[in-house]
Each structure stands twice: as structure tokens, then as C-alpha cells.
Amino acid sequence: MDATTLLLLGQDSLISGAIYALLAVTMVMVFSVTRVLFIPQGEFVTYGALTLAALEAGRVPGTAWLLLGVGAVAAVLAMTRARQTLTFLKAIRILIIDVGLPALLLLIVHWAAPLKLGLVPEMLLTLALVVPLGPLVYRIAFQPLAEASILVLLIVAVGVHMGMTGLGLVFFGPEGYQTSAFSDAVFELGFMNISAQSIWVVTTTAALLLGLYLFFEKTVSGKMLRAAAISRRGARLVGISTDRTGYLAFTLTALIGAVSGLMIGSLTTIYYDSGFIIGLKGFVAAILGGLHSYPLAAAAALLVGTVESFSSYSASAFKEVIVFTIIIPVLLWRSIFRPPVEHLE
């Protein structure tokens, strides 16, 4: 392995590590706030990438219809759940928010998609279509189970993953897509080529991580999420409802997943089921970080990215195996020296 290869792999590790770090950090957040091990996190990556790809091609992305459908399901569930106290006004409000807004978005997308407005408007449109799926998934699948055990929530999460992958196949089809890069520029630094795209990915990730840090440390909403993670009862005693924090956590996780999809879509071809493996690597990093430490999870994500890049170079057939194997010694070590996560509540 010469120096050029080494640097190339290094750059590669950094890019994938950065994206895994985003996924790992949000996974830790969702787990600590809602106790859900959110396996389907990767599906938001897929949805983000494929939605952008469709918009770039001038087509209406399947997510526009999907959002409308999921919104309708959520509306029906919300009205059933509230049937005893449901007033006409409340029903109208639910319908406007859950069905009306997605329908409006669908119209906008129908108008905008053929115009090919360019990368930035298309990215914003993608986020508008994908991010609302986060809180909707929470409302449909997890909110009614707020008091369930971690195991039940995990089983539901796996179910949601399968559902979202299946819907991905229905709405995006089996073909893979690659989006165009933010920029095709390449900088030469000594004997090394650095693509502008990789700089984009790394700076966007750094900005998002910094943003998350500031959100958790400086804003009241961020503090509410942390509080709910520390003591659910304490949070309820100061009027912070589990529903609200769950909603917020899932919105954030969908946002970060979708942004990761926007970044990764131009680096590799994404199929309807690609998100799972990507999300799983974020998950591995989150586990390596003990599911409670953000910095550890982010550092572990860089490690996962590095292991992946180097093993795909030297033993590419086994790259996934090698990545997922590093979890075993860590789990062993943790199970011997640390209490199981369930006891940390």
C-alpha cells in the first residue's frame, strides 16, 4: 500500500465515517429520549437520496404520494384515538395538518419537478417531503407504545424497517440511482486529489454535529430532550410530555437521515434497500459508544468508516463482515464490565 492509496482510503474513511457519525449520534439521541433502537434510521437516508434523484430527473418522487398516504393513516389513527373528545374543529385541524399539507406538497412537487429548479431548491423540496415522515412514523408506530419495554419497541422498530423498505420498493422501484454531486471540482494538494464533494460532506457533517451540540446545550427544546432522556418522570413533572419529546427526536432523526441521503446519493448508487446497511453501520457505532455517549458514538463512527474503507481495499468481499465483527469484542467487553443498558434507566 503506497502513500497515495493510503491517503485515498483515508479520505474515503473520513467521508463514510462522517455520515455514520451523524447516524450514530441521532440513534443515541432517539434511544435515550424514547428508548427506541431506531433500526429504520437508514431508510430516511434512502428516501432522501432517491427523492432527490427523482427530482433531478424531473419526475415526481414516490415520497410525495407516500407522505400523503402515511399522513392519512396518521389522521385516521389520531381521530380514532381521540374519539371520545373529538370535536368537529379538532377533526378539521387533524385533517388539514396530516392530509392537507401533504396534498399541498404533492401539488407543489407536481408543478416543480418538471421545471428542474436546480440542486438547492430540489434538496429543500426533498427535505420537505422526507422529514415529516419521521414524526409521522413516531405517531403511528411508537407513540401508542410509550410505556412498552425496550424489547417490544425494538421489535416494532424492525417491523417499521421492513415496512419502510417495502414501501421504498413500491414507491421508488428496484432500480438504483445516483444523484449529481454538489460540485465536480477537484483540488490538488501536494500529490493528493481532494474532491470538493468530500469537503462538502465533511463540512456539512461538522456543521450538523456542531448544530446538534448547540441545540442540546443552548436551547430550551434541546434541554427538554436531554431532560426526558435523564428522567422521564422528572420531565413529566415539569410539564414536558413524552409525546412532544418523541416527536422532536424523530423529526431530528429524519432530518439528519435525509441530509445524509442527500450527501451520500452522489457518492454511490442507492437502491430502495441500501439504507439498511448504512443505518446498521451507524447503529454499530452507536453501540460501540455504549448508546449513551455522543462523542464516543461519533468517534466510533470514524473507526467504522476507517475499518470499512481499508477492508474494502484489502478484502473487499468481506468488508461488511469485518465491520460488523468489530462489534463482538466490544459487546463482550461491555457485557462483562458494564451493566446492561436496560438497567441504566
Partner 1 sequence: MSLLTVADLSVAYGRIQAVQGVALDIAAGSIVTVIGANGAGKTSLLNAVMGLLPARGEVTFRGEAMARCPTEKRFSLGMSLVTESRDLFTTMSIEDNLILGANRCGRREIVQRMAEVFARFPRLKERSTQLAGTLSGGERQMLAMGRALMARPQLLMLDEPSLGLAPIIVREIFHIISDLRDNGVAILLVEQNARAALQVADYAYVMELGLVTMDGPASQLAGDPRVIESYLGFGGADTNTA
Q: Report the residue number, 226 or 334, with the smaller CB distance to partner 1.
A: 226
Q: What are the CB-based long-range contacts (under 8 Å, 24+) for 154-160?
A: 154/36, 154/37, 154/39, 156/36, 157/36, 157/37, 157/38, 157/39, 157/40, 158/39, 160/39, 160/40
Q: Report the residue number, 232 or 281, with the smaller CB distance to partner 1.
A: 232
Q: Report the residue number, 33 or 66, with the smaller CB distance to partner 1.
A: 33
- Which conformational region is residue 105 in: left (phi greater than 0), alpha (psi within -120 to 50 degrees), or beta? alpha
| Cβ 236 to partner 1 shortest distance, Å | 4
Residue among 7, 76, 112, 227 that touches partner 1 (CB under 8 A): 227
- Cα 296 from Cα 292, distance rounded (Å): 8
Q: Which helix (H) or strand (E) holds 281?
A: helix 274-288
Residue among 4, 180, 231, 314 that touches partner 1 (CB under 8 A): 231
Q: Report the residue number, 231 or 268, with the smaller CB distance to partner 1.
A: 231
Binding piece for partner 1, criterion CB under 8 A, among 4-12, 155-163, 226-234, 321-329: 226-234
Residue 234 as a binder of partner 1 (CB under 8 A): the answer is yes
| Cβ 240 to partner 1 shortest distance, Å | 6
Residue 233 as a binder of partner 1 (CB under 8 A): the answer is yes
Residue 237 as a binder of partner 1 (CB under 8 A): the answer is yes
Residue 224 as a binder of partner 1 (CB under 8 A): the answer is yes
- In order of 70, 73, 162, 174, the CA distances from 182 in angstroms are 30, 36, 31, 25
Residues 198-217 that bind partner 1 (CB under 8 A): none
Residue 319 as a binder of partner 1 (CB under 8 A): the answer is no
Site string for partner 1, 110-139 (x = CB under 8 A): ------------------------------
- Cα 335 from Cα 345, distance rounded (Å): 16
Residue 344 as a binder of partner 1 (CB under 8 A): the answer is no
Binding piece for partner 1, criterion CB under 8 A, among 147-155, 230-238, 262-270, 302-310: 230-238
Give, rounded to a whole angstrom, the gap between the first and last alpha carbons of the chain: 47
Q: Is 86 helix (H, G, I), strand (E, B) or coil?
A: coil
Residue 296 as a binder of partner 1 (CB under 8 A): the answer is no
Which residue is listed with cell 461519533? 298
Residue 147 as a binder of partner 1 (CB under 8 A): the answer is no
User: Which are the contacts of 337, defined by CB distance < 8 A and separation ≥ 6?
Assistant: none
User: CB of 340 within 8 A of CB of 291?
Assistant: no
Binding piece for partner 1, criterion CB under 8 A, among 3-11, 148-156, 193-201, 218-226: 218-226
User: Which are the contacts of 329, defined by CB distance < 8 A and separation ≥ 6?
Assistant: none
Residue 226 as a binder of partner 1 (CB under 8 A): the answer is yes
Strands 186-189 and 192-195: antiparallel
Q: Is 266 helix (H, G, I), strand (E, B) or coil?
A: coil
Residue 230 as a binder of partner 1 (CB under 8 A): the answer is yes
Binding interface with partner 1 (CB under 8 A):
220, 223-224, 226-227, 230-231, 233-241
